Amino acid sequence: MTRLVTVDPDRPDPARLEAPAAALRAGRLVAFPTETVYGLGAHARDAQAVGALFAAKGRPATNPLIVHVPDGAALGGLVASVTPLAAALADRWWPGPLTLVLDAAPSVPAVTTGGLSTVAVRAPDHPVAEALLRQAGVPVAAPSANTSGRPSPTRAEHVHADLAAAVDWIVDGGACRVGVESTVVDARGEVPLVLREGAVTREDLGVTGQAAADAQAQRHSPGARFRHYAPACRVEIAPPGEGPARAGGLAAAGHRVGLVARAAPPAGVTEVGTFGDARDLAVGLYDALRRAERAELEVLVVEGVPEEGVGRAVMDRLRRAAQA
């Protein structure tokens, strides 16, 4: 049975996190908020717990997990060596939405790393995640807390909708403030190689001009291979400014259409959301995908954003959601 505990997102009461923290230590599954999306946590050193986590999500065994730690001090115990680049990145960006891929320590179970020799680690920037990780006292493997292939959860009710039967605790800390996942970088070399675009931007990292090197690194990285972020309705991407016209055309052709755009929709189109800039769209995108499917729309038209800053991560997620 799933138990739900609601906590103050800014000042969580440690007493309310005691049972979920103990459950993590005991090898149970606990969903919790981070600044990006909700994670589904399991004790990263407990192979059986991590096995149960893969089963709960229906996640392919070859897609490795991110191990969550409260701060940079916990990194050393999980990796074979902290490279100078990793130390500098952790120092600058942790806690925060940057995940570092490094050579794994032998003590990290193969099920956690998807059988790879590397492990992904991050320290989330969310008071609830940090408090829970400290109280649990163990490293916590946590993919996004959605059924594999579905939009990531940015609210506790999204977790409940996908995974209620499979998790022991859902810690409700309100809506996530970033809305797209962490940036995943390979930090084994001299420069960070971007394996997944995310909330820490290429501009932030000073790596806007190395698409070829990143593409090469991504070929050896598992994450990009799997289907992602897809709601039950079709998603179409319209160029900036053209959302209302595209949605209006589809509605005129007899479709049940919703719109996420800068401007309000024309008659006959359901307003699913409006946004100002890419950061706004990031915050609301996954919730919009889920609301579109609950409204039983046939098509959701989402207006695109420029491919710069966090817009790169947003467009990456949108393109995957739109893949038929």
CB of 8 to Mg ion, least distance (A): 26
Q: Which stretch binds ligand TXA (CB under 6 A): 82-90, 217-225, 235-243, 258-266?
A: 217-225
Closest CA to 307 of 203, 182, 236: 203
**Which stretch in 22-30, 220-228, 229-237, 295-303 sits in contact with ligand TXA by CB under 6 A?**
220-228
Residue 275 identity (one-letter amino acid) = F
The option from Mg ion, ligand TXA, none interacting with 142 (CB < 5 to 8 A, set by class) reads ligand TXA
**Cβ-based nearer residue to ligand TXA, 184 or 194:** 184
Spell out the long-range contacts of 59-62 with Cβ–Cβ below 8 A and sequence spacing 24 or more: 59/143, 59/148, 60/148, 60/226, 61/111, 61/114, 61/115, 62/114, 62/115, 62/222
58 backbone φψ class: left, alpha, beta (φ>0; ψ -120 to 50)? left
Q: Look-up: residue for tokens 């966090």? A: 310
Of residues 75, 98, 272, 76, the one with CA closest to residue 198: 98
Residue among 98, 159, 184, 278 that touches ligand TXA (CB under 6 A): 184
State yes or no: residue 144 binds Mg ion (CB under 5 A).
Answer: yes
Least distance between ligand TXA and beta carbon 195 (Å): 5
Taking the complex as a whole, the smallest distance from the CB of residue 252 to Mg ion amounts, in Å, to: 36
Q: How far is the CB of 105 from ligand TXA (least distance, A)?
A: 13
Q: Shortest CA distance to 318 belongs to which of 188, 199, 211, 230?
A: 230
CA atoms of 26 and 45, how far apart (whole Å):
11
And the tokens for 182? 């962490």
Torsion angle of C-alpha atoms 204, 208, 211, 214, degrees rounded to 10:
-30
Report if residue 201 touches ligand TXA, rule: CB under 6 A. no
Residue 200 partner contact from ligand TXA, Mg ion, none using kind-dependent CB cut-offs of 5 to 8 Å: none
Distance between CA atoms of residues 39 and 268, nearest Å: 37
- Which one of 9, 25, 63, 236 is in contact with ligand TXA (CB under 6 A)? 63
Residue whose entry in the numeric block shows the structure tokens 């320290």: 123
The tokens for 260 are: 């996420």
Residue 25 token pair: 């230590």
Q: Read off φ and ψ for residue 213, nearest 5 degrees.
A: -65, -40
In the complex, residue closest to ligand TXA by CB:
223
Binding pattern for the stretch 264-303 against Mg ion, x by CB under 5 A and - elsewhere = ----------------------------------------
- Min separation Cβ 144 and Mg ion, Å: 3
Looking at beta carbons only, is 50 or 247 nearer to Mg ion?
50
- Classify burial at 152, counting beta carbons within 10 Å of its beta carbon; exposed 0-12, middle 13-18, buried 19 or more: buried
Instruction: Choose which of 20, 39, 95, 284 interacts with ligand TXA (CB under 6 A).
Output: 39
- Chain positions 94 to 153 lying near ligand TXA, rule: CB under 6 A, are 97, 99, 101, 113, 116, 118-120, 124, 142-144
Dist. CA 148–CA 154, nearest whole Å: 15
Interaction partner, residue 149 (Mg ion, ligand TXA, none; CB < 5-8 Å by kind): none
Closer residue to ligand TXA, CB minimum distance, 222 or 309: 222
CA–CA distance, 117 with 64 (Å, rounded to integer) = 11
CB of 177 to ligand TXA, least distance (A): 12
Is the backbone peptide bond immediately before 64 cis, with ω within 30 degrees of 0? no
Give contact residues for ligand TXA (rule: CB under 6 A). Answer: 34, 36-37, 39, 63-66, 97, 99, 101, 113, 116, 118-120, 124, 142-144, 181-182, 184, 195-196, 221-223
Give contact residues for Mg ion (rule: CB under 5 A). Answer: 144
